[in-house]
Amino acid sequence: MKRSPQLQFVVDRMGPGGVCREGFLGSDPRPLEEILDADNSTVAGMNRTHAQIAERLQTVMDVAIAAQGRGVSVGPHLEAGWHEAMGRIPSPWPGEGTFSKGEMELTDARTGRTVRVTPLAVHLIAAHGFYQGRGSRYRLEPDELAAMLGL
Amino acid sequence: MTELWVILISAGLVLGISAAFAALLLVAERYLANYGQCVIDVNRGSRRLEVRGGETLLSTLMGRQIFIPSACGGKGTCAYCKVKVLEGAGTVAPTEQPLLTAEDVANNVRISCQVKVRNDMAIEIPGNLLNVKQYTGAVERIRDLTHDIKELRIKLTDPPTIEFVPGQYVQLMAPAYKGSPEAVYRAYSIASPPHDAGYVELIIRRVPGGTCTTWVFEHLAEGDEVSFNGPYGEFRLSGTDAEMVWIAGGSGMAPFWSIVRHMKQAQIARKCTYFFGAVRKGDLFFTDELRQLDRELDWFTFVPALSAPAESDQWDGATGLITEVVGKGVSDAAAKEGYLCGSGGMIDAAVKTLKGKGMPEEKIYYDKFT
Amino acid sequence: MILAQPPTELQPGFAATLLVILVSATFTENILLTRFLGMCPFLSISRQLKSAVGMGLAVVFVTTCTCFLNATLYWYVLEPLKAYHIPAESLKLILFIVVIAAFVQLMEMLIERISIGLYFALGIFLPLITVNCAILGASLFMINKDLHGLSALVYGFGAGLGWMIAIVLMAGIRQRLKRSKVPAALEGPGITLIIAGIMAMAFVIFQGMIKL
């Protein structure tokens, strides 16, 4: 299916080498529209909103950043660590400015699962309900994420 | 026989008409996409460039050896190549909008890689950008400083020396390699002192999935040719002789490693205390060298601090977040100057700590990573 | 068929004929909702009103011009060649596409040169149009209807306008749809196709009002 030039621009910027080396879509074979729709229904099915998930992530990230690289406990079973990186990265969507690089490693002590969250990822969830493509370094499964955050 | 003619005439007709349109398009391209000779006025008459139109402003300026900082190589993603265009830029393109704030638009600031030179233009750029040059050199040494920080020592070949103020940075070009289709530029502070003019040292910390750092860590080898442009940046020592507090973390070491060696060489005996923060002992580097300088120079004090030392580190130095260590180590900061380089979180916290100690905000200079 | 002979502009009632052509091309024979041509951008670019209008304007412009160009090419080059057994009917398909593609390319260059503002508003849609079947469809229907010169121009304009009206209506509906609950299985193209079907039924009432 054809896309509007605006959305095609976003998808192009999400590819490898567009905004970042690895891109946002990973090895996900689905088109962007389908990824968004699927994650949308998952979140709606939990009776949550993207804004709630993003807000909780932001709170956790603020704590992790303030710890300046030292690991910090951010919940009953949740450990967070901040890895600083130089520079800023723009959102693939136009008009949204740039976000500082660096990533938060979030580990659930119960399951041992670790996810990586960046400031841009939090923004993409809040503004677009975009959790990135499967196979990408920063893919977040909305249901697992919500469970980790106690939502 | 007639059928053959019909086929031939039909084919000829289709080919003829297609060729006519192709020719028309070529002629149109020749005249419509040709913007002829354009004049770019830089900084209200300080330089006047006569260039061929049709290219982007960024690449046109680069062709004339004026290097605007740009990280993404002109793809319109990094927003570093902002230039004030006083005249002749035309409408803001949809590709620029994402990267411009309302203030930028009001000030005629544009993304120079997205603005085409179509007519005469007048632009304004920081004066020191006119001194920026393109350098090539060969990697003389790459060594690990920590598990994720490398030091790069580059011997300059063309031009053979560089002049800069300690604290400034250069933009290293990571060429296209497997997995990264286009060349990109990334900014790194110069870690070597200016009297070592034939060399440039960079301290590079690995960014997960980063385009340039992946290249440095996995592809770059000693002897390889590299190119960069610079120097850029306003981070430098002030002209006063006030006592200084330096605070850095990770690769934020670089400007101070340059400055302290420059001060030693130039015999600038200005009192300063250098707080360097890391998480574990394995994240510290240049500790022996800096402790040696601490012993040699009576005006220089080096305070490394670990925020979460492991048992095996056997650490007896300062412990805690670097801001806590600064809070304990600095008493009255009202007459001192602060110099900070590192992550955004660290700098924000350090500015708060120093202000709490009475340091006026305008006396705090920083080079934020973000 | 009154229009079998190319009418001259001095003929009384010619303006009325043009009006009939316009209304019929726009409404009774709406190229999108009665012929279902140009569905692809209709489904994908009708998410936002602004891009729908941009795309619509680009289509109006291109159909108007290419219908006129193709009419000229057909009636003055291909039709006379029929006497020499040249299969004009088959050749027109190839040649019309060539004309449309070249015209769109040319326009893209021209618009970029003349007005950057217009280029950003309209130009980005032009490459999408080259392969839009509604454009080719308009030219082919025009030949079937035996339209010449000014009539062809007006027909092209009407066809484009009809397409634009349809996509703008759809964009308006879809913007409201964002706030309503749609069954998960029908989200996106599914519900859009159903809406298009209902809209097409509404356009059926125009049928028989005027016959060209």
Q: Could you tell me the residue ranges of all domains in chain A?
A: 5-148
Cβ neighbour number for residue B49 with a 10 Å cutoff: 17
**Average of per-residue pLDDT across B186-205:** 93
**Total number of domains constituting chain C:** 1
Residue C150 falls inside a structural domain: yes
* More confident call, B325 vs A21: B325
Residue B143: its pLDDT value, please? 94
C-alpha–C-alpha distance, residues C56 and C71, integer Å: 22
| Chain A residue with the nearest C-alpha to that of B179 | A21
Task: Please give the model's pTM, rounded to 2 decimal places.
Answer: 0.70
How far A2 CA lies from chain C's nearest CA (Å)?
6
Contact across the interface for A68 and B249, Cβ inside 8 Å: yes
Q: Is B108 on the interface with A (CB under 8 A)?
A: no
| Domains detected in chain B | 37-129 (3.10.20.30), 133-232 (2.40.30.10), 244-368 (3.40.50.80)
pLDDT for residue B4 is more than 90: no
Whether the predicted pLDDT of A18 surpasses 80: no
pLDDT at A12 over 70: yes
Q: Which two tokens stand for residue B161?
A: 């020396």
Q: Is the pLDDT of residue B177 over 90?
A: no
Percent of chain C with pLDDT over 70: 91
Among B18-22, B34-38, B326-330, C121-125, the minimum mean pLDDT is found in: C121-125
B321/A102 CB distance under 8 A:
no
Q: Does B73 score more than 80 pLDDT?
A: no
pLDDT single digits (tens) B301-320: 999 999 888 888 888 889 98
Considering only CA atoms, which of C16, C31, C42 is closest in space to residue C173? C42
Q: How confident is the model at residue B298 (pLDDT cuts 50, 70, 90)?
A: very high
Q: Nearest CA to B369 among A69, A20, A81, A88?
A: A88
Chain A environment of C41 (Cβ under 8 Å) = 2
Mean pLDDT within B154-167: 93
For residue B19, is pLDDT > 80? Answer: yes
Q: What is the pLDDT of residues B89-124, one digit of tens each?
A: 888 887 787 788 888 888 999 999 888 888 899 999
Specify the DSSP element, H or E, that contains B49.
strand B47-52
Q: Is the pLDDT of residue A48 over 70?
A: yes
Give the domain extent around C181: 33-204
* Tens-place pLDDT, residues A106-130: 999 888 889 999 999 999 999 999 9
In the block, residue with structure tokens 């490898």: A16
Mean pLDDT by 10 residues, chain C (212 residues): 48 80 88 86 80 86 92 90 83 90 86 77 73 88 89 93 92 85 79 89 80 64
* Other chains touching C, judged by 3 or more CB pairs under 8 Å: A, B
Name the pLDDT band for A1 (thresholds 50, 70, 90): low
| Bond preceding residue B231 cis, omega within 30 of 0 | yes
Would an 8 Å CB–CB cutoff place B56 in contact with chain A?
no
Q: In A, which residues are within 8 Å of C47 by CB distance?
A: 4, 7
Residue C88 lies in a domain: yes
Distances (CA, A) of C127 to A39, A51, C102, C161: 32, 37, 11, 19
Answer whether residue A83 shows pLDDT above 70: yes
CA atoms C90, C93, C98, C103: torsion sign: positive
Q: Name the nearest CA neighbour of C186 among A11, A48, A41, A46.
A: A41
Supply the pLDDT for residue B1: 57
Query: Chain B: nearest CA to C42, how far in angstroms?
Result: 22
Of C50 and B236, the structure prediction assigns the larger pLDDT to B236
Give residue for tokens 């027109």.
C92
Residue A45 has pLDDT above 70, yes or no: yes
| pLDDT beyond 60 at B133 | yes
Q: Do C41 and A2 touch (CB under 8 A)?
A: yes
In-domain check, residue C138? yes
Measured between alpha carbons, how far is C118 from C102 in angstroms, rounded to an integer? 19
**B326–A contact, CB cutoff 8 A:** no
A126: left (phi over 0), alpha (psi -120 to 50) or beta: alpha
When pLDDT is averaged across residues B235-262 and rounded to a whole number, the result is: 92
B30 CB-contact burial (10 Å; exposed 0-12 / middle 13-18 / buried 19+): exposed
